[in-house]
A = this chain, B = another copy of it.
């Protein structure tokens, strides 16, 4: 663990957070099991890559989200819509203030283990639909965390203004095998290829050796 940085990453098992994990090599990693339809696909990928990097990894269960919140992404929710990520119908996939909740928990954990920053892999492709992925949110949340902790824990979100294609190119340079990441919202045996998240993944990985669906 000597060569790892004293930070906490939020890692889902998708392309973006896995790229951030290999780029930043943090000591600590948190994943969240909040009852999404694809949690059984995502979480083992998060665990696998954290093991490769050597980060201490915890999976935090947030049962109340599936029980009390409204979103098609959740097991308790309606059917996942198909189409492009930025389409109006994708709004049903928003889990309200999910990034706020994950960042707040990671902030408290960082203060407990005396880590410096929280890393999160939000990116510009999320901006149209997910308000808690945008720059304004990240900046305000950063201030809330800095003011709300003794150690002045901050947010490092270097992909905020990059699109998924640019993140994939960073990952290519780092030698990441994206076939070992999970993107699809539906959580079936293979990537569905038609949900908003799959559509964006295909565009990001166009021309890559990595088979998009080999997971």
Chain A interface (Cβ within 8 Å of chain B)? Answer: 58, 60-61, 63-65, 68-71, 91, 94-101, 103-105, 107-113, 131-132, 134, 136-137, 140-141, 143-150, 153
Q: Is the CB of B100 within 8 A of A145?
A: yes
The docked-state distance in angstroms from the alpha carbon of A145 to that of B147 is: 15
| Contact across chains for B147 and A136 when beta carbons are under 8 A apart | yes
**When chains A and B are docked, how far (Å) is the Cα of A65 from the Cα of B109?**
8
Tell whether, in the assembled complex, residue B108 and residue A96 are in contact, meaning their CB atoms are under 8 Å apart: yes
Compute how far the CA of A136 lies from the CA of B141 in the bound complex, rounded to whole angstroms: 12
Asked whether, in the complex, the Cβ of B144 is within 8 Å of the Cβ of A131, the reply is no
Closest Cβ of chain B to A85, distance in Å, is: 17
5 A-B pairs with the lowest CB-CB distances in the bound complex, closest first: A96-B111, A132-B148, A97-B108, A140-B143, A140-B144
Count of this chain's copies in the oligomeric assembly: 2
Smallest beta-carbon distance A204→chain B, Å: 24
Whole-angstrom CA separation of A69 from B137 in the bound complex: 25
Residues of chain B lying within 8 A (CB to CB) of residue A99: 148
**A58 surroundings in chain B (CB, below 8 A):** 64, 68
Q: How far is the CA of A137 from the CA of B142 in the complex (A)?
A: 10
A-B contacts, 6 of them at CB < 8 A, read: A68-B112, A70-B112, A96-B111, A98-B108, A101-B104, A131-B149
A99–chain B nearest beta-carbon distance, Å: 7
Cβ contact within 8 Å between B140 and A111: no
Determine the chain B residues whose CB is within 8 A of the CB of A146 once the complex forms. 140
Chain B: CB-nearest residue to A105:
B101
Residues of chain B within 8 A (CB-CB) of A98 are 108
A96's contact among B134, B144, B149, by CB below 8 Å, is which?
Answer: B149
Nearest-CB residue, chain B, relative to A130? B148
- Residues from chain B with a CB closer than 8 A to the CB of A60 are 64, 68
Cα A140 to Cα B144 with chains together (Å): 5
How many whole Å from A104's CB to the nearest CB in chain B?
A: 4
Determine whether the beta carbon of B137 is less than 8 Å from that of A111. Answer: no
The complex places the Cα of A108 from the Cα of B103 at a distance, in Å, of 13
List of B residues within 8 angstroms of A109 by Cβ: 68-69, 96
